[in-house]
A and B are shown apart, each in its own frame.
Chain A
């Protein structure tokens, strides 16, 4: 009788423990998944902001850089690629293209002292650099979130629960090597 009782209690305790552990892991996995989604949203907002700033920039340099047609065209092209991008990786690739095009635009602008003294241009340059930095940090946070998610769903015991929840590892955003350096802006 007392043996049966002991076994019964042990079974109940084990079931409750299992339920609690499952509860913990379920919430953790869902929370991490939401964090990934949220950090993608953050990247998306910054990409849009950046695309919105480009027309203003082109407007302010137009008068000074009429002869730099190719540079300006590259920026326009990269911007429309960014506007039309569908998948996250497409977005990031288009953004990298835009970063390159802007880099050469700002390099060319060095040759125009009038432009360099233009307050509006300076402000746009600051803000574009700022959005660029925000995008790279948002990407980093996205990848950090994906890493913690993947660590949970790939290791024991998380992997057992993840399988039941139909969750598997997620892809990180690939960052080209030259973009990893800290942008150097003097002030």
Chain B
């Protein structure tokens, strides 16, 4: 497949999975309304704004949260290695046609990098000192191009929104669960309604948190493939990123990985696990599969 086809294919799949997530969310809210008010519209009218406000709040604090969780500091242009990192970030921004993001550095022996930022105009790219020291320039360029693609694709927004929706769904599910335990469900219902629909609604609300979590992880993995192929398109050199991923795979982390688990889905490769199998519970696709796809471009 051509790089362009990879990009199109990954984009289509993400849109499809995001659509499924939205559908699931509406379904859960409607079931909630049906169980409590006997009317699905009331909960849609009240549920949607609450979810949107929740997402907006997490979104507006996302950059600060991420940077402090990763204990990152701004890059120092007096150190040659970090200046070359800033140079490379600027080059990638030019290739992508975006404003140059701020460059941060995280003290860590592991090879890793992440991007964050609400808009491409105020984005941040952070690389570990391990990445700066251990990667050759074309490999570092591949990694930075991958991060730049996350910025260009608005992946931070998509990640925040999906995490928000997952949170809202589990909250609704918990409310229903506890109120059923106390025998509160159905209090507000005027008619007895259809028993089958009611059972279905309860089952849906119980299963929804698991489904939404899995959908979120699927979106996260698809976005990684998309950023890989977009990054390869920016550098015109898929081999650079492939070699960097190979290095990350062979580079076993020294000691405990730094940073919190919140940041894990943002990194180029998950710092907490060296997974090689294709698990539905992982935030990133298996590294071998990513290398294979890059080399097939």
Q: Which of A39, A126, A182, A186 contacts B141 (CB 8 A)?
A: A182
Q: Is B80 an interface residue (CB 8 A)?
A: yes
Contact pick for B138, options A134, A141, A182, CB 8 Å = A182
Interface contact B138-A137, CB-CB below 8 Å: no
Task: List residues of B (71-97) whose CB comes within 8 Å of A's CBs.
Answer: 80-81, 83-84, 87, 90-92, 94-97
Q: Which of A35, A134, A182 contacts B94 (CB 8 A)?
A: A134
What CA separation (Å) do A150 and B137 show in the bound complex?
33
Q: Is the CB of B94 within 8 A of A138?
A: yes
A145 contacts which of B97, B136, B138, B236 (Cβ < 8 Å)? B97
Once bound together, how far apart are the Cα atoms of A182 and B96, in whole Å?
A: 17
Known A137-B91, A187-B80: A182·B97 in contact at CB below 8 Å: no
Instruction: Give B85 Cβ to nearest chain A Cβ, in Å.
Output: 10
Query: Smallest CB-CB separation from B81: which chain A residue?
Result: A187
Q: Which residues of B contact A144 (CB under 8 A)?
A: 97
What are the interface flags for A149-177 relative to B under an 8 Å C-beta threshold, 1 for contact and 0 otherwise? 00000000000000000000000000000
Count of A residues near B, CB < 8 Å?
19
Asked whether, in the complex, the Cβ of B84 is within 8 Å of the Cβ of A137, the reply is no
For the complex, give the distance between the alpha carbons of A180 and B236 in Å. Answer: 9
A180 and B87 alpha carbons, distance in the complex (Å)? 19
Extra A-B contacts (16), CB below 8 Å, given A184-B137, A185-B137: A42-B94, A126-B80, A130-B90, A137-B92, A137-B94, A138-B94, A140-B236, A141-B94, A144-B97, A182-B137, A182-B235, A182-B237, A182-B240, A184-B138, A186-B136, A187-B84
- The interface of chain B, by Cβ under 8 A from chain A, is 80-81, 83-84, 87, 90-92, 94-97, 136-138, 141, 235-237, 240
Which residues of A does B touch, CB under 8 Å? Answer: 35, 39, 42, 126, 130, 133-134, 137-138, 140-141, 144-145, 180, 182, 184-187
